[in-house]
Chain A
């Protein structure tokens, strides 16, 4: 994919439109799996038939005992067509559009958006579209280096390539790993926030000298500063990666007073609120601004947002608050097609988790997971084994997890 020409600044910016978003409640099962990057279809617990489209009763035996289960994504294109006309506002502006019928190895035949390189044998992926709803995309069986450049696929993903990215905190180990990882995805610009610019940080010179990087004195605890930085760059930012966080390992009883907890809330919760208020409106106006439009807002949350980890109790609470606010942000960004990506890592291998035994998530691994989620269009990211295990336990029985974490 060639770098897009700079936008002519006097031209009108196209307003965002969304593909058809209505889904039944049962069909949201496909969306729930796609949000995690999983391909699941309903399967009949009685006769084993895999169902598509989502439904209330088995198409073969009429049993209502259907369960969402991971399915093989292999299949074959039966028929294809290229839309040259559509009355739907979203597709109308994106024609021509290639669609087809794919016969899945697991049984059903599905309607899929066809990648330009998808021929005969394909693998499908359930992906969130700009409306945040799951659709099925058929991709070439073999991954190729330029696969993500496909014009249609790019409508479903938030690929950092050629995009302008803000990383809100460049001072942490994760921040620096994120910057290095994102830079490897050929972004146009990476703005890097650094609060309290008088405090030197390790790795500063290396980050500062990267050609894609521009440092901005962003401090998410300072409303005036966030407003001023947003005034300067919000109209250009395509992807916000909000990794600014304060993490202190205290519960209620082992730290007198509220100051540490307040500092966590001020960055982890109010910081997100300040950023969202100042950067959100400009990003919403650019949800369909050409091939490198505003596409994503990434929040660094924590697996502790799902259930409190008492040794890090106040931090957990601040991340739960941020998670709740991120759901609000998701609802407010969705009309513009801007995806809110929530990241729920287990303990990161950094100074604030020093006393936790491994396994801990390496900052570089977390950075890869975040960039991968953007490229693959995933909305809820549970990177690493600890996060995956906690997620599984939480989905299975939240009360049991609460007890296990407080043991």
Chain B
């Protein structure tokens, strides 16, 4: 029996749980906001083509539209200027083996509850490793903040006069994960892999800058991270095969052994 048939067997026996880490694509789900004079990503929109009616008597279907960075979505390295010249940096050229990887889930929910601008530090990651063991290469690091439990879009976006206040990693944490842990990518529950105020970090948006600059990926708007163990789960995150795409909405699932 090889590993895959062992897996199939375990799965059939119900010993492997599937956790859906994906938000539902809907027009209500908040979209990223840029200054209005800049180009804007489309929010998710859906228009009915027909619904068993004069437009199509026996069938129901819709047209939908959205940006590459809508809902639960994947960021490819080409998304950021630091990753623009890397090989295999777009949704269609990333080797498909990168779409499966173990996940390390760092629980920052208490910190984020107290401080919406909470920044995950290198020291916090080292403390996580003291408890759970080292983060293995080619793994996803997922930052659990319980931000997805903010069902009110205003609370989820969390804007005030100074902009958005959502948690994310700090500069040193990102550099550490890339250079010393060789991670596959970084995932968050909020609308960006970077913190809401990350424009003021040096460099601005360090998670985008360093992760994508090193050919790593991002996942954002994840949910149900509270159902994952700190270690031991496997994440499936395959973006749509958009030619030279910078990212894609996708279904992210995790497998968890009982």
- Interface, chain A (partner B; CB < 8 A): 196-200, 219, 221-225, 248, 257, 259-260, 263
Contact = CB atoms under 8 A, between A and B. Distances in A.
Given A222-B45, A223-B45, A224-B46, A248 B153 contact: no
8 contacts: A196-B30, A198-B157, A198-B159, A199-B159, A219-B27, A222-B27, A259-B39, A260-B39
Contacts of A223: 45-48
A277 to B, nearest CB: 12
Contacts of B160: 200
Given A223-B47, A224-B27, A224-B46, A198 B154 contact: yes
B153 A197 contact: yes
B55 to A, nearest CB: 14
B136 interface: no
A248 B33 contact: no
A263 B34 CA distance: 14
B30 A198 contact: yes
Secondary structure dominating the interface of A: loop
Contacts of A198: 30, 153-154, 156-157, 159
The 8 closest A-B CB pairs, nearest first, are: A198-B157, A198-B154, A222-B27, A198-B153, A259-B39, A198-B30, A224-B27, A223-B47
Interface in B86-141: none
A215 to B, nearest CB: 12
Contacts of A260: 39
A198 B48 CA distance: 26
B33 A259 contact: no
Contacts of B154: 197-198
Interface in B150-179: 153-154, 156-157, 159-161
B45 A196 contact: no
B40 interface: yes
Nearest to B160: A200
Interface in B169-226: none
A225 B40 contact: no
B39 A196 contact: no
Given A222-B27, A222-B45, A224-B46, A199 B40 contact: no
Interface in B1-45: 27-28, 30, 33, 37, 39-40, 43, 45
